[in-house]
Amino acid sequence: MLLAYARATTGDVAGARREMAEVKARFARLAGTATDPNAQASLFKPYADLIAGYEIRTEARIDLLEGHAAEAVKRIEGAQLPVDSVSLDLLKAIRRARSLPDTTVPGQPHLANDRQTQARKDMFDGMISWR
């Protein structure tokens, strides 16, 4: 799912949606093999939640690409976003799309460093070209 988000950040909407669909399909096949009914709640639910979280953030990033900043905000309202580089990148992109100043996130000053931002972009670009 990180690759799907990376594709969305670089403008590859079709590739992002294709990656998400592939991950969801593979997960559905894997979850469908469980013979224990409790496995869905105990074993697979955390992974389903992780996939859903990436899907929300990726779709929000796609909304931004399509010029729908309000839709991106609506999509993440009420969502429990993890504090990770994807969430921080998305929040920064929303701020830029709404012409708000880019601010340093408390406790994460290294992510405000332009060198780190460029390193993340280079990593995302590298992930896409690798595939």
pLDDT of residue 46: 87
Average pLDDT over residues 62-69: 95
Residue 13's nearest CA partner among 64, 69, 54, 51 is: 64
Q: At what angle do helices 114-130 and 2-9 cross, to 10 degrees?
A: 110
pLDDT band at 90 (very low <50, low <70, confident <90, very high): very high
Q: Closest Cα to residue 9, out of 88, 121, 131?
A: 121
**pLDDT tens-place string over residues 18-60:** 999 999 999 999 888 877 777 777 788 889 999 999 999 999 9
* Alpha-carbon span 111 to 9, nearest angstrom: 16
Supply the pLDDT for residue 111.
47
Mean pLDDT throughout 111-117? Answer: 54
Residues 8, 52: Cα–Cα separation, whole Å: 16
Q: Percent of the chain having pLDDT more than 70?
A: 77
